[in-house]
Amino acid sequence: MALITKAIKGTQDVLPAVSHKNQYVEETMLRVAQRYGFREIRTPVFEHTELFQRGVGDTTDVVQKEMYTFEDKGGRSITLRPEGTAGAMRAFLEHGLFNEALPQKVSYLTSCYRYEKPQAGRLREFHQFGVECLGASEPAADAELIGLAQTIFETLGVEDLSLEINSIGCPECRKEYHAALKAYFESHREELCPTCLERLDKNPMRILDCKSPVCGRIAAQAPVVLDYLCDDCRTHFDRVKAMLDSMNVPYAVNPRIVRGLDYYTRTVFEFVSDSIGAQGTVCGGGRYDGLAEELGGPHVPSLGFALGIERLLLVMHSQGIEFPQPDPCMLYIAAMGERAACEAASIAQSLRASDFPVEIDTCGRSLKAQMKYAGKLGAQYTVVLGDNELDAGVYTLKNMQTGEEMQIAADEFIETFVETAILAMEADLKEMFGLEE
């Protein structure tokens, strides 16, 4: 029978055989972020469209070409979030968190949606880990944020990522830079793509981020933003670099980084890999000191980054990084008959409540089929229950690795199994770390 439908283009299923990799990466990132004082925030998957138009910027590719926007039944324009920062800032302002102790440091795991051409590392539904530091103006915050990303990569064992940083200045010093850019691109007006012609008057910096090969070649010779920084922005960038040096975080200054969203100011950065093709940016972020005001709030200097989980997993696979395996089945209880099935369910419920992975038959299999299934699960121990075992009040616990068997009184089975399993785990740990008995 043919399937009614398949997954939508640009989306993917994370199947049980590999989902532990996502869980490991996500749990590691949240744990590391917590060390830096970041606590989790969760925001809606959709927002009013104007939040992204005002926050992300109506001259960006995201707003112009990529957003999933629709009208709801109340006639409101709604957009699936294309990124996480705007929603986090909206929540920060709406709930008055700017009245609490600053900075507010939040982290999140989120799904995002952009209508792009699907390819490796770029999906229409993708997932990000993000952090936002709201209410911090000092260069120390910039360096700390970059250090957090670096620590995440080190904890996961990811190597050969290049950190590239830049400063795109503040609105004041960018006025002169915009004028220089506009004059430069005006001289190439006939060669620019239609989208960049629209950007020329609104925001010429967006031309630097154009994916067109022709526009990219022209942009490569454009004026450099670092030559137009005001004294305050130059000092801020110098202090960020000095702090990264003191933290032993290697970096390279790339004056062509502008990032793809309009809310950025001053520091911007990217962690780039050359092992996953054209979609090499694994993590990107920077400072956005004017975003709160753009959304109708007070001045709240802030910064953050987003880390693409799908791209990170591609990098980890390309580098052969091993992932911790999920906990295996500790005990499989094979049951024959209704009485045994009830006893199996009782034992399993008690052991599961004590955090032991236990499996029982739920398909009405024969004993032979149950034992075969236990083997496929990799069960470390098995016990067979039938009328004979129940009548005798003695169960036989078998170690599936060594073949050793242990006779256990029925009323002592749970306690004895727990002790046996704990001793086995302690022995495995001692062997793993080379400790003597």
Residue 197 has what pLDDT? Answer: 87
Q: What is the mean pLDDT of residues 419-428?
A: 82
Q: Does residue 253 share a domain with residue 119?
A: yes
How many angstroms separate the CA atoms of 181 and 62, rounded?
Answer: 22
Q: Is residue 419 one of the residues assigned to a domain? A: yes
Q: Is residue 176 one of the residues assigned to a domain? A: no
Selected residue with higher pLDDT from 35 and 196: 35
How many angstroms separate the CA atoms of 394 and 3, rounded?
Answer: 49
Least confidently predicted of 190-204, 258-272, 342-356, 420-434: 420-434
Query: Given a cut of 60, is residue 437 above it in pLDDT?
Result: no
Give the residue from 296, 318, 340 where a domain finishes: 318
Q: Does residue 240 share a domain with residue 150?
A: yes
Residue 234 has what pLDDT? Answer: 97
Q: Does residue 23 share a domain with residue 151?
A: yes
Q: Does residue 97 share a domain with residue 31?
A: yes
CATH of the domain at 361: 3.40.50.800
Least confidently predicted of 113-122, 317-326, 330-339: 113-122
Residue 306 has what pLDDT? Answer: 96
Q: Does residue 267 share a domain with residue 235?
A: yes
Query: Checking phi first, is residue 120 left (phi over 0); if not, alpha (psi -120 to 50) or beta?
Result: beta
Residue 87 has what pLDDT? Answer: 96
Provide the residue range defining the domain that includes 410.
Answer: 331-424
Residue 73 has what pLDDT? Answer: 95
Give the residue from 318, 341, 360 where a domain finishes: 318
Residue 108 has what pLDDT? Answer: 98
Residue 136 has what pLDDT? Answer: 97
Q: pTM for the whole thing?
A: 0.89
Q: Is residue 14 one of the residues assigned to a domain? A: no
Residue 244 has what pLDDT? Answer: 98
Give the residue from 283, 318, 353 where a domain finishes: 318
- Residue owning tokens 């070649």: 217
Q: Is residue 295 one of the residues assigned to a domain? A: yes
Number of domains forming the structure of the chain: 2
Q: How far is CA 382 from CA 208, 353, 393, 424, in A?
A: 63, 18, 17, 15
Q: Does residue 384 share a domain with residue 278?
A: no
**pLDDT tens per residue, range 212-239:** 889 989 988 999 999 999 999 999 999 9
Q: Is residue 189 one of the residues assigned to a domain? A: no
Q: Is residue 412 one of the residues assigned to a domain? A: yes
**pLDDT tens per residue, range 156-184:** 999 999 999 999 999 899 889 889 989 99
Query: Given a cut of 60, is residue 433 above it in pLDDT?
Result: no
**pLDDT tens per residue, range 388-417:** 999 999 999 999 999 999 999 999 999 999
Q: Does residue 337 share a domain with residue 249?
A: no
Q: Is residue 153 one of the residues assigned to a domain? A: yes
Q: Does residue 312 share a domain with residue 400?
A: no
Q: Which of these, 104, 82, 87, 16, lies nearest to 377 by C-alpha position?
A: 16
Q: Say if residues 139 and 30 touch (Cβ distance below 8 Å).
A: no
Residue 212 has what pLDDT? Answer: 85
Q: Which of these, 411, 373, 374, 404, lies nearest to 389 by C-alpha position?
A: 411
Q: Is residue 166 one of the residues assigned to a domain? A: yes
Q: Does residue 250 share a domain with residue 309?
A: yes
Q: Does residue 357 share a domain with residue 311?
A: no
CATH of the domain at 279: 3.30.930.10
CB within 8 A of 411, min separation 6: which ones?
393
Exposure string over 89-116, b if 16+ CB within 10 A, otherwise e: bbbbbeeebbeeebbbbbbbbbebbbee
Query: Given a cut of 60, is residue 435 above it in pLDDT?
Result: no
Q: Does residue 164 share a domain with residue 313?
A: yes
Q: Does residue 338 share a domain with residue 278?
A: no
